[in-house]
Structure 1
């Protein structure tokens, strides 16, 4: 079964507004022991241990958003998008958000797929419940390396995330991106056709760079993301 990723089950919340959703949410909670299930108050008593709420989901989230690292909504994505929109801050700190259909077939990360762990959570739940993880992040759907995930896996500090968008776009488009390091072995990345594992920190034959280095960032003529393990 796919790993859960950075999320701990007890830090995940599951929400439902309907009776069919309650059945799916209960299955999800069994896969995530210690998670908290929030259900509409009209179903009070149907599921032992659930937290029942009467306020609109948007108001509930004002209280629960900071309490959990992952939020799984068994409801329509439009409801979720309108509810979480005022709470979204930055990809580096936003929690994982998933939506699940009322039959428990599709698990769709909406927010923090990489750094927040929504993508591995979707894979984990889909595998456990016989559904399908629908990943829309470009690097995942096109089998390209994700610099932000690699930085997180290496425990690297990224002083400036602004080049990530342009570098990731190059990777998704299949354009050559150079990866270089003076402190970690990046040779396994050579299996990706768009990656060039460089011996020197020079952008020769590449349109962008990702550098894992103990050195301070230095100017380069192409978009470059610096990470410091």
Structure 2
């Protein structure tokens, strides 16, 4: 058994299944075919041979791989993975393929783990019929836990996902309020029981059983009802200027205070933008890494020529060659014409906020 596994383990238990596993893994660059040692030679030189019970192998790969393709009967697969199950948010995708390659069944983590998509990929390789049983796909309604995922949206209150998902699949009234973010998160038309609302007041007045709220604004806790899920699109850019030696904590405090004071969610921040000569400033780099944000930099001449600055400074111009750093950096990186938040000053840093153009 190899010391380090690949992201997808394709596991077989029979001679025929071993050949099929090798074929599937060969078509998936990120996959590893794991076959019984006695069938490894005929399955091919690129396979990984295992000795002993397959249960031990599945248990190991379940804990370190993002997906498993089990070439065996569904019942056998269920018994093998049952002791390993922990949480739908962290369990890997599991797809089951019969030895004849006739069906590719998304068995576990269809949405969050990506088993539905993996079943489609495996089916395309083997000529199998993909089998997807999650209700959202069967009923052609939005999958609550996948809304905006392709765009990097974050879910603020995931504990409400189950209520929203139930309302979507059961045909109960579901409201949609979108104030920011990519508009094509679902193909129109939406199902008849899913209705868009123009603003928060209209949504609250309608009081649907569940709601999809897509916004980068902070919402009063009293507004949210059971089944109302808040999705945070990555729409905000922080323009940051800073002095040499500024700490990551100083930047974090200024950013968090600024966002809170202006009613904006930190979960919607996508990037930080600044002057190119600040790209290696340790405190700024540490802040960006800690928040897992993109860092974009611009030359002074580009920043100085950016329209839309609200608080230019002759002092800054004399020091770094541009009338501003945080404001024009935010505008440039966001592709925006105006700021959401003009320059806010801390002891050793400044911050401005712009919204990415849709």
| C-alpha separation in 2, matches of 1:215 and 1:82 | 46
- Asked if 2 retains the 8 angstrom alpha-carbon contact of 1:37 and 1:50, the reply is yes
| C-alpha separation in 2, matches of 1:174 and 1:113 | 21
The higher relative CO (CA closer than 8 Å, separation ≥ 6) is in 1
| 2:34 is aligned with 1:38 | yes
Provide closer, same or farther for how the CA distance between residues 180 and 227 of structure 1 changes in structure 2, counting only shifts above 3 A: same
Shift of 1:190: 4.3
- Asked if 2 retains the 8 angstrom alpha-carbon contact of 1:25 and 1:74, the reply is yes
| C-alpha separation in 2, matches of 1:180 and 1:144 | 17
Provide closer, same or farther for how the CA distance between residues 153 and 48 of structure 1 changes in structure 2, counting only shifts above 3 A: same
| 2:63 is aligned with 1:66 | yes
Find the counterpart in structure 1 of residue 232 from structure 2: 228
| 2:15 is aligned with 1:19 | yes
| C-alpha separation in 2, matches of 1:16 and 1:120 | 21
Range that drifts further, 197-206 or 11-20 = 197-206
Find the counterpart in structure 1 of residue 103 from structure 2: 106
SS at match of 2:177: strand
| C-alpha separation in 1, matches of 2:187 and 2:98 | 35
| 2:118 is aligned with 1:121 | yes
1:158 aligned to which of 140, 155, 168: 155
- Asked if 1 retains the 8 angstrom alpha-carbon contact of 2:163 and 2:226, the reply is no
SS at match of 2:9: strand
Q: Per-residue CA shift, 1:28-52, capped at 9, x if unaligned? A: 1232134100011221322212111
Q: Per-residue CA shift, 1:61-85, capped at 9, x if unaligned? A: 2322233211000001222222222
Find the counterpart in structure 2 of residue 199 from structure 1: 198
SS at match of 2:155: coil
Provide closer, same or farther for how the CA distance between residues 131 and 44 of structure 1 changes in structure 2, counting only shifts above 3 A: closer
- Asked if 1 retains the 8 angstrom alpha-carbon contact of 2:37 and 2:49, the reply is yes
SS at match of 1:52: strand
Structure 2 gap ranges (5+): 1-5, 234-358
Range that drifts further, 160-169 or 215-224 = 215-224
Q: Per-residue CA shift, 1:170-194, capped at 9, x if unaligned? A: 1112222112122125475541223
Taking structure 1 as the reference length, the TM-score comes to 0.87
| C-alpha separation in 2, matches of 1:190 and 1:36 | 39
SS at match of 1:225: strand
Shift of 1:139: 0.4
SS at match of 2:69: strand
Find the counterpart in structure 2 of residue 81 from structure 1: 78
Tell me the number of residue pairs that the alignment of Structure 1 and Structure 2 aligns. 220
| C-alpha separation in 2, matches of 1:108 and 1:136 | 9
| C-alpha separation in 2, matches of 1:135 and 1:34 | 22
Taking structure 2 as the reference length, the TM-score comes to 0.57
SS at match of 2:211: strand
SS at match of 1:60: helix
| C-alpha separation in 2, matches of 1:151 and 1:87 | 29
Shift of 1:117: 1.1
| C-alpha separation in 2, matches of 1:199 and 1:170 | 21
SS at match of 2:172: coil
Structure 1 gap ranges (5+): 1-9
| C-alpha separation in 1, matches of 2:149 and 2:30 | 25
Find the counterpart in structure 2 of residue 209 from structure 1: 211
SS at match of 2:118: helix
- Asked if 2 retains the 8 angstrom alpha-carbon contact of 1:144 and 1:172, the reply is yes
| C-alpha separation in 2, matches of 1:60 and 1:118 | 20
| C-alpha separation in 2, matches of 1:197 and 1:26 | 48
